[in-house]
Amino acid sequence: MRIALQVATRSTCSRKHIGAVIVRDKTILSTGYNGSIRGLPHCDEGDHLMENGHCVRTVHAEANAIAQAAKNGIRLEGAEIYITASPCWTCFKLLANAGIIKINFGEFYRDERIFEAAKMANIELKHHKIDNDE
């Protein structure tokens, strides 16, 4: 989780800094943080693109970690992920379909649906209390 916290410092959306690290057998497979589409302006360089109270300019950390793995030909089946906040519903579905079997998260972020879906999909969810010293 400390590595995910460090990855989150790379976030380019000042509204919320999120970091994600995908691991299998104690080996880091991929990392991601929330930021804009590659090559396009970042929130911190211009403005947030707001819809319904959310900045939609950024790609979420989990999605970026999956995309980085795909770009580099890394199989994620059977891996686990560490995320500084729980995944949104869309990212949860991506993680499940990528073959992630355990989701470790820091703060809870919004969507209760992940708990029931995780049970049905046999995905372990584990909450980690994050303090400033972690």
Phi, psi of 62 (to 5 degrees): -65, -45
Nearest to 78 by CA among 62, 114, 102, 61: 102
Q: Is 45 a catalytic residue?
A: no
Nearest to 107 by CA among 82, 128, 134: 128
Given the residues 45, 51, 62, 124, select the one marked as catalytic: 62
Q: What angle do CA 92, 106, 109 make, to 5 degrees?
A: 55
The set of catalytic residues is 62
